Amino acid sequence: MTKTAELHIDGKVYELPVLEGTEGEKAIDISKLRAQTGHITLDIGFKNTGSTKSSITFLDGEQGILRHRGYSIEDLCDKADFLQVAHLLIYGEYPTGETYDKFKNTITYHTLVHEDMRKIFDGFPASAHPMGVLSSLVTSLTAFYPESLDPTTAPEGVDLTIVRLLAKLPTIAAWSYKNEMGHPLNYPNNNLDYVSNFLQMMFGLRTETYEINPIVRDALNKLLILHADHEQNCSAATVRVVGSSQASLYASVSAGINALWGRLHGGANQAVIEMLENIMEDGGDVEKYIAKAKDKNDPFRLMGFGHRVYKNFDPRARIIKKSCDEVLESLGINDPTLEIAKKLEEAALKDDYFVDRKLFPNVDFYSGIIYRAIGIPTEMFTVMFALGRLPGWIAQWKEMREEGQPIGRPRQLYVGENHRPL
């Protein structure tokens, strides 16, 4: 029997269908609410609003569960390659054998970016933030592949756009770093796997063979997987809304990159390191910063703490914390910011303010420390997040398109002036 919820307004009763997801999550379907009652719902920041049904990612914030297409994030981090997770998210199946080989080879074949794009790079000053360069260059791909402008094209056309994005984003990301450094650009080496190739384009010199450290490669593979999708977050919701107007996949992903840039979302990993460095430079008094974070008159927040949906722990933070220890140990790095991070974590976890509000370290608290240890500059951290999140954005866009969802267009409650004569 279908469950319903009753809504009482001005003495009238309206029945609203109650839907249940495959993991028992419940939703009240209000899609006909305005037509039936003349009312809209108001939910600033979408804290209670489901914008879509989705089969990609399941997340239980209370229990700290994260699964992609049914597979746990722990299993995927343990056993998968990032490109396998990308395929899983985008096409719904975990690829092995020939399927995976074919997918990998196609992506390898498309890693070069058009030489004319180098002219665009040349136009950016070295001071350009790599996230701005990345989003601009991704939008520019529409100029080189104009057929992508029509996303209603046949599935093969969409698949080619997907492959090009996955293949070229690491090249563009590494080039945006080289641009910042003022170094000559490195070309992709198609004999290397996806992660090693990225490391080679970032840190290799044209004149020498770049030695891949397997521990670094493995940590980066895990980091990319950990960021691969996170259901309807700020950037994924942006990608869906932009894509719902039938903007191209490149334009939609570029919008996602910009949404990710902010410090309350993907920019938090950069903000964490900056915060740790500030604390260190200020004498390392962790208690002082805990007090500042609790003070409502002080805008300071403990970056890398808290999450909109995880209210017990962030499962990604657990995996990454372990990886972080391994990388630092194997590279023999003794990073004083890590000591500050550990002290902050300890102090916050036993402080009533953080305990009562269920504020725990999120994935960004540790990811910045790993990026720093492997030599990635702070301004590139959010670019690393974007590389990882790319398959999630593509999967969310593709699902939205395939379901023929309508254009995303929220309502509002107008609270401004009434009509007045001019």
Q: How far is CA 17 from CA 30, 135, 378, 405, in A?
A: 8, 40, 48, 20
Indicate the residue among 253 and 268 with the shorter CB distance to ligand ACO: 268
Structure tokens at 59: 């997340």
Q: In this chain, which of 231, 345, 364, 399 binds ligand ACO, going by CB under 6 A?
A: 364
Instruction: Give the C-alpha separation, 392 to 394, whole Å.
Output: 5
Q: What amino acid is encoded at 29 in this protein?
A: D
Nearest CA-CA partner of 50 in 17, 26, 22: 26
Contact flag: residue 320 with ligand ACO (CB under 6 A): no
Indicate the residue among 121 and 289 with the shorter CB distance to ligand ACO: 289
Q: What amino acid is encoded at 379 in this protein?
A: E
Residue 419: exposed, middle, or buried by beta-carbon count in 10 A (0-12, 13-18, 19+)?
exposed
Options 92-100, 187-195, 300-308, 402-410: segment touching ligand ACO (CB under 6 A): 300-308
Indicate the residue among 204 and 267 with the shorter CB distance to ligand ACO: 267
Q: Count residues contacting ligand ACO (CB under 6 A)? A: 17
What residue spans of 145-267 are helical by DSSP H? 155-181, 194-203, 214-226, 234-244, 249-261
Contact flag: residue 308 with ligand ACO (CB under 6 A): yes
Q: In this chain, which of 76, 192, 293, 395 binds ligand ACO, going by CB under 6 A?
A: 293
Contact flag: residue 307 with ligand ACO (CB under 6 A): yes
Q: Tell the smallest beta-carbon distance from residue 281 to ligand ACO (Å).
A: 20
Q: Tell the smallest beta-carbon distance from residue 306 to ligand ACO (Å).
A: 2
Residue 224: exposed, middle, or buried by beta-carbon count in 10 A (0-12, 13-18, 19+)?
buried
Q: In this chain, which of 270, 323, 362, 396 binds ligand ACO, going by CB under 6 A?
A: 362
Provide the mask over 393-422, with x wherever binding to ligand ACO is found by CB under 6 A and - wherever it is not.
------------------------------
Provide the mask over 114-133, with x wherever binding to ligand ACO is found by CB under 6 A and - wherever it is not.
--------------------
What residue spans of 266-380 are helical by DSSP H? 268-281, 286-294, 315-330, 336-349, 352-356, 363-373
Binding site for ligand ACO (CB under 6 A): 264-265, 268, 293, 301-308, 357, 359, 362-364
